[in-house]
Amino acid sequence: MRHKFIDIPRETLPERSVLERIHDYSEYASRMEDGPIVKQAERCMDCGTPFCHVGDMIGQETIGCPIHNLIPEWNKLVSDQDWYRAYERLMETNNFPEFTGRVCPAPCEGSCTLGISEDPVAIKSIERTIIDRAFEEGWVKPRHIKKRTGHRVAIIGSGPAGLAAADQLNQLGHAVTIYEKADEAGGLLFYGIPNMKLEKDVVRRRVRLLEAEGIRFKTGVNVGTDVTIESLRHTYDAVILATGAQKQRTLGIDGDDATGVEPAMDYLTESTRTLGGKSLDARYDANGKDVIVIGGGDTGADCVATAIRQGAKSVTQFGKHPEKGVFRAPERPWPLQPDTLSTDYAYAEAIEHFDHDPRTYLIRSNRVIKDGDRVVGIETERMEKIVKPDGQATFFVVDGSIETYPADLVLVAIGFERPERELRKVGIEANHDYTSNVEGVFVAGDARRGQSLIVWAIREGREVADTVDGYLNTCQQQLKTSS
């Protein structure tokens, strides 16, 4: 009998047509119907040693799923159409599959054994379909906390790390309060990821569930200004800093202080705020403008998609690396992510709308050209990448390659700085075990490890919760002993 992974081709989530979706901010993809997703689950090979849920690092690379999702198990349950048990199995390891099923880059698929010779299993599509169906069926309900411990924990930051830590600690019976400086809970899930990838009602739905289970949210509270960490430490038995890596990198070139040169995350945040009825600040309005996005990652792609919806005249994205290949490169063997060329939602939209791919490669920004205080262009040079025998890469400027791109709006999407300096400003230094130099204060997520994936943030939240629970239990035992 032939194996189904040979006969069944890979399919992913259905997407709305480009010409329809670029005129709104609704999600561009939806869950699969039962029949097609069952077939996709049947492609799972029941590996003897699956790598999809390893969740480890090789150098700076993630191998498999950091939260150790039991992927082969829920694939089997989906293939048997045992949807409720598939949902139960999914929730054993993942607090928020409705988030990861939409915005995770799916390192699990890069480590799928089938991916050695064929297209990998559509794990992310299956995950989203399981959880979306669970909500549709009414299976996702507030869980009753049987016994409270009397311990109180404050969490600063309501991104995926803070939410995961809160969920875990609340289920253990501790009273949890989350402090969020924005007016909505969710951190970058809410304001940093565009609505077309993750609708904000999906975030609000999970927040309402957590509130129904007893977690308190205090939004619009800036810890460090409205309340100090010291006062929280005296009010609560433990404090967790899950504030993320907040300081965005700047270009560091001549003229980067020009009006019209904006951090990408500020641009995405302000664009998302308009969904709630707020007027868009003119600084972040791409309508009728030549837009340059500097940075080739997911945030840059989100800027491309947002600028298209705002009515940009043109959009060009600068990347410093060469164009990726269609096939896995020899230097990226399985189970590393293949890092191949893909046409994600934003680029498909740009190609359809502007009739060309917005991405440029091996390009360096030399200076921002200004007219008075306002940006009018970017001077660039082309680069050549040389990989030495030891694997080290060096970039060289190509002589005579200076070009000038017109620009009315420049969006800087080159990532975030390491968080250590920001933590030190409030007297905190994070340790490797989630503790800090301050008794009873813990650090997790991007605030501890630097900019990373949503699945690492959730894992950090789960693990810091275990550490805090152990700390609280130890404190309780010491109190009993001393009395």
Whether the pTM exceeds 0.75: the reply is: yes
Reported as a pLDDT band with limits 50, 70 and 90, residue 317 is very high
Structure tokens of 216? 């308190």
What percent of the chain lies above the pLDDT cut of 90?
A: 84
Q: How far is CA 257 from CA 106, 148, 304, 372, 375, in A?
A: 36, 52, 22, 12, 9
Asked if the model's pLDDT at residue 476 lies above 90, the reply is: no
The answer to whether 22 and 349 have CB atoms below 8 angstroms apart is: yes
368 token code pair: 């921002």
**Count of beta carbons in the 10 Å neighbourhood of residue 288:** 10
Judge contact between 244 and 265, C-beta under 8 A.
no
Locate 45 and state its tokens: 């090979």
pLDDT for res 392: 82
Cβ atoms of 29 and 14 within 8 Å: the answer is: yes
Q: pLDDT digit string (tens) for 270-285?
A: 999 999 889 999 999 9
Q: How would residue 4 be classed by pLDDT, with cut points 50, 70 and 90?
A: confident
**Could you say which DSSP state residue 306 is in?**
H
The contacts of residue 282 (CB under 8 Å, 6+ apart) are none
Average pLDDT over residues 373-388: 94
Q: What is the pLDDT of residues 53-68, one digit of tens each?
A: 999 988 888 999 999 9
Q: What is the pLDDT of residue 304?
A: 98
> What pLDDT is stored for residue 3 in this prediction?
63
Rg of the chain over all Cα atoms, to the nearest angstrom: 23
| Rounded-to-integer distance, Cα 18 and Cα 14, Å | 12
Q: So what's the pLDDT on residue 483?
A: 64
Q: At what angle do helices 298-310 and 264-273 cross, to 10 degrees?
A: 50
- Residue 76: predicted pLDDT: 95
- CA dist 314 and 303 (Å) reads 12
pLDDT band at residue 438 under the 50/70/90 scheme: very high
